[in-house]
């Protein structure tokens, strides 16, 4: 099937020198090839060739690099990928899912989290610690700690809202104020 295109559209994308090969060699490759080389260097830094999944998104990097190395933007400052106007517009309509934490953490950070969890688990499995935890749970239930904490925060809220002279007049705090007098 041949798709009809208006002459203005064809003229807009027609290579200036005539042949498509010359157009690629003169206009596209001089800009794209250095960007691709920089992309490979950055991918190596991000260890993309060692892992199956990484946080590095090659299309984002190349878009940012091409935008910042555009000859029409010579004197303008560096612009991050998410600050590029057409990227902002695109992401408004097509938001991305968040990057998983496993990809954001370095190997050291991930190993610290895993090791600390494992150490905590092993300690919680010890019989003495199990006994202590049961005792603390029973103590919390016996002393009705949840109610006491709620009362404490209610008092704190009352103190924050009322002037000091009016605190003892509040019905929620009156019994405690009597003990102070």
Q: End of a domain among 96, 113, 142?
A: 96
Judge whether 22 lies within some domain: yes
Give me the number of domains the chain comprises: 2
The CA distance from 25 to 72, in Å, is 19
Q: End of a domain among 96, 112, 138?
A: 96
Judge whether 82 lies within some domain: yes
pLDDT tens for each residue of 96-145: 999 899 888 988 999 999 999 999 999 999 999 999 999 999 988 888 88
Residue 179 domain boundaries: 155-181
Judge whether 127 lies within some domain: no
Same domain, 92 and 161: no
Same domain, 18 and 91: yes
Judge whether 17 lies within some domain: yes
Compute CA distances 174 → 150, 169, 171, whole Å: 16, 6, 5
Compute CA distances 126 → 105, 118, 119, 136, 158, whole Å: 30, 13, 11, 15, 43
Query: Is residue 165 within 8 Å of 159, Cβ to Cβ?
Result: no
Judge whether 134 lies within some domain: no
pLDDT tens for each residue of 144-181: 888 888 999 999 998 887 555 454 544 554 445 444 44
Judge whether 23 lies within some domain: yes
Query: Is residue 142 within 8 Å of 121, Cβ to Cβ?
Result: no
């Amino acid at each position: 099937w041949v798709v009809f295109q208006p002459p203005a559209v064809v003229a807009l994308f027609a290579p200036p020198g005539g042949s498509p090969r010359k157009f690629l060699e003169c206009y596209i490759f001089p800009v794209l090839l250095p960007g691709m080389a920089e992309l490979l260097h950055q991918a190596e830094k991000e260890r993309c060739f060692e892992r199956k999944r990484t946080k590095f998104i090659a299309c984002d990097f190349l878009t940012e690099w091409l935008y910042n190395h555009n000859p029409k933007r010579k004197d303008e400052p560096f612009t991050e990928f998410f600050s590029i106007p057409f990227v902002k517009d695109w992401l408004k309509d097509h938001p991305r899912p968040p990057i998983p934490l496993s990809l954001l953490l370095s190997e050291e950070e991930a190993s610290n989290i895993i090791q600390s969890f494992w150490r905590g688990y092993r300690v919680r499995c010890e019989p003495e610690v199990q006994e202590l935890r049961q005792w603390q749970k029973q103590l919390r239930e016996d002393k009705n700690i949840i109610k006491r904490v709620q009362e404490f925060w209610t008092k704190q809220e009352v103190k924050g809202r009322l002037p000091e002279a009016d605190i003892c007049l509040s019905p929620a705090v009156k019994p405690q104020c009597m003990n102070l007098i």
